[in-house]
Structure 1
């Protein structure tokens, strides 16, 4: 059973609410010097030169003072229902900086993506969390980056193997 805070329940049930839901994204890969942290809400002003906004949250051990989640405009693409492929969701990040776009597009192997939904008033209280997703592809430029995110492919999961016992492989034990 998923736990949801009382503030989130009131916001879900209310016809109108002043609670704003925020999606936080964390991209991790060995090729990155530090994880890429992104937010869908300009909760606080982070700097004036250049003008940047973001969300300060301690989700997944981030230091709110030195590691804020940077604000980006994000759109979601509905996961496909293809029969031969795992369901893959899509995110379109608009108006990202050149550094973020370059980092996401430069990853050659699958990066790990963690997502969480928090309320803007309480960014440290996680309402919903999705961890250990895989970044399948990142295409675009600094104005827009399209990301395809999926679960770990089932083909890469380990299968049970036979044990090398005397009964199963008698030729090995002479």
Structure 2
């Protein structure tokens, strides 16, 4: 059961998502400031929640870095991979917007590099994957830092 703090954070997450959806579908003249702000809010919330999970794991009585890292990555994979790769599979099967040529970038969570190198948002169908790529890249590095760093470096 979520505590009051989690409910408040979920409400902030809903605000962030609403800001992004507004920027994509309702903003006049393609105004994107609200959308950028929503994405940044979502990144901050996600970083906070992940850090809290990692610190809780680190504070557990039976803490060992290896099993804690493995459990973290397995949870992430079970949560993110099924819908992510289902979308990529559907796009591959239908070749929507002629997207097959870029699928390897998206499958490797390198969408942000794909769009930056091309300096254009095509295929548009997958352009929202840039933020998922940044999140997954963060999730590769941050748990290593939090779970493997000396305790004196993590505690405030």
TM-score (norm 1): 0.22
Higher strand share: 1
Q: Which has the larger radius of gyration?
A: 1
- Higher RCO (CA 8 Å, separation ≥ 6 residues): 1
Larger helix proportion of the pair: 2
